Amino acid sequence: MTGSLVASALLAFPLFMAFDSKSALLIVVTTTVMIAGVNASNDAIQPGYFTAMFGTRIRYSGVSIGREGGTIIGGGLAPLIATALFARAGHWWPVAGWIVLTSVAGIVGARLARPIPAAREVPVGVAPTTAVR
């Protein structure tokens, strides 16, 4: 996940430079790399990555609330933020900067996240106070 976030941060400005070039080939190639390469590599590992964050008793809720809640807040507000940044500056560079900033925040979050070791999970049917630690 960290690799795809680094790639997203590094390619944010080149993506908008490609858009600014008005070259159809450059826009298609750069956008394809961002979507098929960077975004797909990030999305591919999320199921396994996020399920390791929660024990079996709350895994479904934890992943659903965490991932989808973050998507609603981050993804839902992204167009509004990008539009406001572009309107204020009159140029695309603040939008690319926002992509870099959110990528860096994602890198920090990924580095701080710690999966739950399988040995610490409470087996189904066993009271938490009697589980082996």
Q: Which residue has the higher pLDDT, 42 or 85?
A: 85
The mean pLDDT of 31-50, rounded to a whole number, is 87
- Summarize pLDDT for 66-99 with one digit per residue, the tens: 888 888 888 889 999 999 999 999 999 999 999 9
CA dist 95 and 13 (Å) reads 9
Residue 127 domain-assigned?
no
SS (H, E, C) 30-55: HHHHHHHHHHHHHHHHHHHHHHCCCC
Q: Is the pLDDT of residue 12 over 60?
A: yes
- Print the domain residue range for 99: 2-114
- Residue 94: predicted pLDDT: 96
Other C-beta atoms closer than 10 Å to the C-beta of 39 total 14
Residue 129 domain-assigned (yes or no): no
- The pLDDT-based confidence of 118 (bands split at 50, 70, 90) is low
Listed ranges 31-40, 58-67, 81-90, 119-128; the one with the highest mean pLDDT: 81-90
This prediction has a pTM of 0.77
Q: Let me know if residue 26 belongs to a domain.
A: yes
Helices (H) and strands (E) in the chain, counts: 7, 0
Domain count, the chain: 1
Greater confidence, 132 or 87?
87
Is the pLDDT score of 122 beyond 80? no
Rounded to whole angstroms, the maximal C-alpha distance in the chain is: 65
Answer whether residue 133 is part of any domain: no
Q: Tell whether 98 is covered by a domain.
A: yes
Tell me if 50 sits within 8 A of 63, measured CB to CB: yes
Q: What percentage of residues in the chain have a pLDDT greater than 70? A: 87
What are the b/e assignments for 90-119, b being 16+ CB within 10 Å? eebbbbbebbeebbeebbeeeeeeeeeeee
